Amino acid sequence: MLSIVGFFTLALAFLLAAYGLLAVIFGLVQKTPAWIESARLALLMIFPLVTVSVAALLILLAGQRFELAYVYSVTSLEMPLYLRLTALWGGQSGSLLFWSWLMAGFSLFFALHKWSRDADLLPWALLVVFFTLGFFLMINVFFEIPFERFWHFPDGSRVVSLLQPRGAWLLTPQDGQGLNPLLRHPGMIWHPPALYLGFTGFIIPFALAISTLAAGRNDRRWLEIARPWILIGWVFLSLGLVLGMRWAYDILGWGGYWGWDPVEIAALLPWLSGTALLHTNLLQARRDGFKRWNVVLVLLTFVLVIFGTFITRSGVISSVHAFAGSEIGSPMFIFTALLSLGSLGLLVYRWQDLQAGYEPAFGFNKETLMLFTNLILLSILVICFLGVIYPIISELITDTQITVGPAWYKRTAGPLFILLVLLVGVCPLAVWSGTNLARLSKRLRIVLPISLLVPLFVWLAGGVRHGVVLVSLWLVGFSILVMAADYIQQVLVALHKNQGNFWLALGAPVRRNRRRYGGVLVHLGIILMSIGIIGIEGLQQETQVTLSVGESVELSGVTFRFEALEHHEEEARWITEAVLSMSRAGEPVGALYPQREIYPNMGLAVTQPGLQGNLAVDLYAVLIDWRPISQDEATFRIFYNPLVSWLWVGSAMLTLGVVVALMPESARRKLERAAKSEVISG
Amino acid sequence: MNKAHPFTKLYYFLVLIVLLTLVRPATSARGQASTPSDDEVNQIASQLYCPICDNQPLDVCPLEACRAWRELIREQLAEGWTEGEIKAYFVAQYGERVLGEPPPSGLNWVLYLVPPLVILGGLVLLLSKMKRPPRPATGLEPDAEGRYLQRVERDLENLE
């Protein structure tokens, strides 16, 4: 019964989306506001309906109703409640329903926003939302139905169907297959929701951009409305990527967090264009320029979201043949093509109307630096896109399957990432418009010599001789010092104004300009994250050895001693755990417990690396193999991963930055900003 | 994600066993004393991809077949094969998909030419769209509008 309720509400939501689409088209053709209002009310109903459907599936997952094919495939009796609930996004059909639910939630914005100033945008925005949301609901209603049940016939044959086939009985398995153990890690539990929030959140800027184009407007109103949503989408996308990295680091057991896998890159692509958008959005807000560029980036970001969803869910990444066998491959391909071509067509049609009449002047100023940042981000985007798409092209044209792996990405995109760090560093030294070389040289005189101490220290104290690492760490040190110098100067000014109240002055710059210092914190987060990346890319050490109990191996000054190998059974899994004690110069520094878990019911084995880390270094060991009979010999892969923790610290800083940037401003500051933008555009 | 059909895996495994048997006699002929370490094997295996999984480097692939392939690399190293010879052997057996970086030949040139062209093209486009920096003052006083704009910019700086 609950499964029927779940499906019925989902089908009703789909019908409402289809009705809404037709009503908007009719309203636009007939110029009848009543039809648009009717469509708006239909949109208002979709979210509650999909919520009921999601709630029904959650109850079925929690209640271990294994007669449902989806519940059977992603849960089992031994799974705790929280894992059964998060299995909502553990499989294809459930995760698509979850995706539709989040998108329906964001779409509520269009039904609830006060459109009095922008009534001409609403119909087109509704058109985009109904088209996109309707498509995903359609996939859930016709192709990937999470409410299908098992049925069996008297002759022993079985089918999966939503409704009871004639002459069939409901089949209820005793236990389910259970969620893939690889997906039971906190990183993987929260990675999909964060990523999906980021993906679906971009529906708001996308629909606003399309509606601005379609309504023939060329003002920056759409961007003002979209700005917080771009930031929200971007920060969730960033968090989703970082959680995915943490999962890969903790679970996959190859000592790294980013494998340049096409699925990872599919999520990175919209992040790159979204990051570029965050910068040019600022330029349009200040200079009323870059109108075309902002529209291009918003459309590109959402098209890349849909493209990523298409390539990861249709099987096209594995092989062209897998795509042909996928049920949702063709509809997703058609939808992606329609969305991309429709966006492109509209953009070309309105291109001339988006003339900004503002030309940035080349020089050492923020405009130039932001445009160079955009160039680098988009070059990385093209490289990543090429890397993902090329194996498919190669298979189609030459029938040769090829792999584009990390070595190619590092060679082509690696130097561009280093340039990005440099740009983040020098940006606070630049002014808006013109070139203020006096200011630049004044700052450089102090910051540059101090920053050179960073590579010198790493050379002398850390013994690092890797040229790229030294240059990268110097850039990192330089960037942090520039930001610090800028902040200290602002604090000194505030200190002067506040007659010496240090604590008040310390927070004054952030209080005065939350947007700006939110941005500074985000940049600081990116710089801290790059420390982690430099550490693992340039300084990682590893070795693979077979040790007998009592034997030890040394790696980067740390001695790893194999103490014992233990076996135990726990919740339908057999666990083999090794104990590696560690010492540095004879002093004990802790122990690692790498494990191999075997899930006999699922025929799967999962590696759990042993990990102990601090801000300086992570010590990381993987249990590769052991002798089943004597059990006194085992093979380990041991990694010495310097600085990697900064990746997680940086991501927290980045999130904090976005929160600061989104905090409401004081009335005074708002007035100042309004006056400023009037001066500029006037 | 599509998994290879069990029979395909079995087929590859059988091919591997046959190959191992074929290679063995040559081993003793070229024979070398020391057994290569796991690190030496992984150094090459990390540059190769599992021929039957999707995007799984050979050094971390947990499949039995991959374990056997790593042992094959160890044997080849023991026989004195070079890194290039081992890679060429895997390409000949399983196709170009085992290489993490496609060789620059034929259509693959796209992978090596497009990135620099994109960066250069973008740079040219960007610079062509920007105004040239104003020439340094030639002794003439900026006009009233110029002075006003300078003041506005200065005020904006102070506002920050």
- Supply the pLDDT for residue A184: 82
Task: Report d(CA A650, CA A420) in Å as an integer.
Answer: 16
Q: Read off the DSSP letter of residue A106.
A: H
Q: State which of A279-293, A400-414, B107-121 shows the largest mean pLDDT.
A: B107-121
pLDDT at A310 over 80: yes
pLDDT at A681 over 80: no
Neighbours of A186 (CB within 10 A): 12
Do B97 and A402 count as a contact with CB atoms less than 8 A apart? Answer: yes
Structure tokens at A648: 């997680």
By the 8 A CB rule, do A540 and A253 touch? no
Binding-face residues of B in 19-48 toward A, CB within 8 A: 37-39, 42, 47
> What is the maximum span of chain A, computed from C-alpha positions, in angstroms?
90
* Secondary structure class of B52 (helix, strand, coil): coil
Rounded CA Rg of chain A:
28
Q: Tell me which chain B residues have a C-beta less than 8 angstroms from the C-beta of A433.
A: 153
Taking the Cβ of residue A669 and every Cβ of chain B, the question of whether any pair is shorter than 8 Å is answered with no
Q: In what side-by-side order are the strands of the sheet with A633-642?
A: A541-548, A633-642, A617-626, A610-613
- Supply the pLDDT for residue A670: 62
Structure tokens at B96: 């170009």
- Supply the pLDDT for residue B12: 55
A264, A403, A511, A679, best to mutate vs chain B, most B CBs in 10 Å: A403
Q: Measure in Å the smallest separation between the Cα of A384 and chain B Cα atoms.
A: 10
Those residues with Cβ within 8 angstroms of residue A265's Cβ, 6 or more apart along the chain or in another chain: A384, A387, A388
Structure tokens at A493: 């000014």
Task: Report d(CA A20, CA A33) in Å as an integer.
Answer: 13
Binding-face residues of B in 81-110 toward A, CB within 8 A: 95-102, 106-108, 110
Nearest to A434 by CA among B99, B52, B149: B149
Do B114 and A382 count as a contact with CB atoms less than 8 A apart? Answer: yes
Of A252, A315, A431, the CB nearest to B157: A431
Q: Tell me which chain B residues have a C-beta less than 8 angstroms from the C-beta of A516.
A: 160
Q: Which segment of A96-100, A114-118, A227-231, A324-328 scores lowest on mean pLDDT?
A: A324-328
Instruction: Write out pLDDT tens, residues A586-619.
Output: 999 999 999 998 888 777 888 889 999 999 999 9
- Counted residue by residue, chain B has a size of 160
- Supply the pLDDT for residue A72: 95
For residue A376, the chain B residue with the least C-alpha distance is B119
pTM: 0.87
- Supply the pLDDT for residue B146: 52
Do B57 and A607 count as a contact with CB atoms less than 8 A apart? Answer: no
By the 8 A CB rule, do A584 and A592 touch? no
Instruction: Write out pLDDT tens, residues A345-360.
Output: 999 999 988 876 677 7
Q: Tell me which chain A residues have a C-beta less than 8 angstroms from the C-beta of B115.
A: 379, 382-383, 386, 412-413
Number of CB pairs, chain A paired with chain B, less than 8 A apart: 142
Domain coordinates of chain B in residue numbers? 6-98
Q: For tokens 């025929």, name the residue.
A: A603
Do B122 and A254 count as a contact with CB atoms less than 8 A apart? Answer: no
Phi, psi of A421 (to 5 degrees): -60, -40
If pLDDT is split at 50, 70 and 90, which confidence band does A455 have? very high
Of B60, B95, B130, the CB nearest to A361: B130
Taking the Cβ of residue A177 and every Cβ of chain B, the question of whether any pair is shorter than 8 Å is answered with no
Structure tokens at A272: 């790159």
Q: Tell me which chain A residues have a C-beta less than 8 angstroms from the C-beta of B42.
A: 544, 637
How much helix, strand and coil, in percent to the nearest 5, is found in chain A?
65, 15, 20
Instruction: Write out pLDDT tens, residues B38-94.
Output: 999 999 999 999 888 877 889 888 888 888 999 999 999 999 999 999 999 999 999
Helix (H) / strand (E) element for A542: namely: strand A541-548
Q: For tokens 């890969």, name the residue.
A: A248
Neighbours of A133 (CB within 10 A): 27
Q: Which segment of A11-15, A283-287, A294-298 scores lowest on mean pLDDT?
A: A283-287
String of b and e for A316-327 (b: at least 16 CB within 10 Å)? Answer: bbbbbebbeebe
Q: Tell me which chain A residues have a C-beta less than 8 angstroms from the C-beta of B110.
A: 386, 390, 393
Do B133 and A435 count as a contact with CB atoms less than 8 A apart? Answer: yes
B8, B47, B55, best to mutate vs chain A, most A CBs in 10 Å: B55
- Supply the pLDDT for residue A620: 95
Do B102 and A254 count as a contact with CB atoms less than 8 A apart? Answer: no
| Torsion A423-A425-A427-A430 (CA) sign | negative
* Percentage of chain A exceeding pLDDT 70: 94
Taking the Cβ of residue A432 and every Cβ of chain B, the question of whether any pair is shorter than 8 Å is answered with yes
Q: What is the mean pLDDT of residues A434-444?
A: 77
pLDDT at B31 over 50: no
* Secondary structure class of A582 (helix, strand, coil): strand
- Supply the pLDDT for residue B53: 80
- Supply the pLDDT for residue A662: 86
pLDDT at A123 over 80: yes
Do B118 and A368 count as a contact with CB atoms less than 8 A apart? Answer: no
Domain B6-98 sits in CATH at 1.10.8.640
CA dihedral A663, A666, A671, A676 (to 10 degrees): -50
Binding-face residues of A in 528-557 toward B, CB within 8 A: 542-546
Angle between helices A291-313 and A186-201 (to 10 degrees): 140
- Supply the pLDDT for residue A311: 87
pLDDT at A252 over 90: no
pLDDT at B3 over 60: no
Nearest to A619 by CA among A585, A576, A583: A583
* Percentage of chain B exceeding pLDDT 90: 35
- Supply the pLDDT for residue A96: 94
pLDDT at A677 over 90: no
Q: What is the mean pLDDT of residues A555-568?
A: 93
**Residue, of B134 and A417, whose pLDDT is higher:** A417
On the CB side of B5, CA atoms within 13 Å amount to 4
* Secondary structure class of A154 (helix, strand, coil): coil
- Supply the pLDDT for residue B2: 42
Q: Measure in Å the smallest separation between the Cα of A607 and chain B Cα atoms.
A: 10
By the 8 A CB rule, do A555 and A580 touch? no
Nearest to A100 by CA among A141, A60, A59: A141
- Supply the pLDDT for residue A621: 95
If pLDDT is split at 50, 70 and 90, which confidence band does B18 have? very low
- Supply the pLDDT for residue A663: 82
Do B123 and A375 count as a contact with CB atoms less than 8 A apart? Answer: yes
Task: Report d(CA A577, CA A497) in Å as an integer.
Answer: 62
If pLDDT is split at 50, 70 and 90, which confidence band does A336 have? very high
Task: Report d(CA A659, CA A246) in Å as an integer.
Answer: 22
pLDDT at B22 over 50: no
pLDDT at B140 over 80: no
Nearest to A63 by CA among A10, A141, A2: A2
C-alpha A457 chain-centroid distance: 35
Nearest to B132 by CA among A434, A372, A373: A434
Distances (CA, A) of A248 to A274, A359, B103: 23, 44, 28
- Supply the pLDDT for residue B21: 42
Helix (H) / strand (E) element for A159: namely: strand A158-161
| Torsion B27-B33-B39-B40 (CA) sign | negative
If pLDDT is split at 50, 70 and 90, which confidence band does B141 have? very low
Q: Tell me which chain A residues have a C-beta less than 8 angstroms from the C-beta of B159.
A: 672, 676
Of B98, B126, B156, the CB nearest to A375: B126
pLDDT at A282 over 60: yes
C-alpha A270 chain-centroid distance: 8
For residue B117, the chain A residue with the least C-alpha distance is A379
Do A406 and B60 count as a contact with CB atoms less than 8 A apart? Answer: no
Structure tokens at A198: 């980021």
- Supply the pLDDT for residue A69: 95
Q: State which of A468-482, A599-613, B144-158 shows the largest mean pLDDT.
A: A468-482
Binding-face residues of A in 92-131 toward B, CB within 8 A: none
Q: Read off the DSSP letter of residue A89.
A: G
Instruction: Write out pLDDT tens, residues A179-216.
Output: 888 888 887 788 999 999 999 999 999 999 999 999 99
Q: Which segment of A43-52, A374-383, A522-531, B133-142 scores lowest on mean pLDDT?
A: B133-142
Q: What is the mean pLDDT of residues A20-36?
A: 94
Do B2 and A434 count as a contact with CB atoms less than 8 A apart? Answer: no
Of A361, A407, A408, the CB nearest to B131: A361
Q: Measure in Å the smallest separation between the Cα of A56 and chain B Cα atoms.
A: 27
Taking all residues of chain A, what is their mean pLDDT, rounded to a whole number?
89
Instruction: Write out pLDDT tens, residues A267-276.
Output: 999 999 999 9
pLDDT at A657 over 80: yes
pLDDT at A2 over 50: yes
CA dihedral A54, A60, A64, A65 (to 10 degrees): -130
Structure tokens at A463: 């013994």
For residue B123, the chain A residue with the least C-alpha distance is A375
- Supply the pLDDT for residue A321: 54
Distances (CA, A) of B63 to A106, A543, B15, B67, B103: 43, 20, 16, 6, 26
Taking the Cβ of residue B10 and every Cβ of chain A, the question of whether any pair is shorter than 8 Å is answered with no
Do B42 and A361 count as a contact with CB atoms less than 8 A apart? Answer: no
pLDDT at A401 over 90: no
If pLDDT is split at 50, 70 and 90, which confidence band does A631 have? low
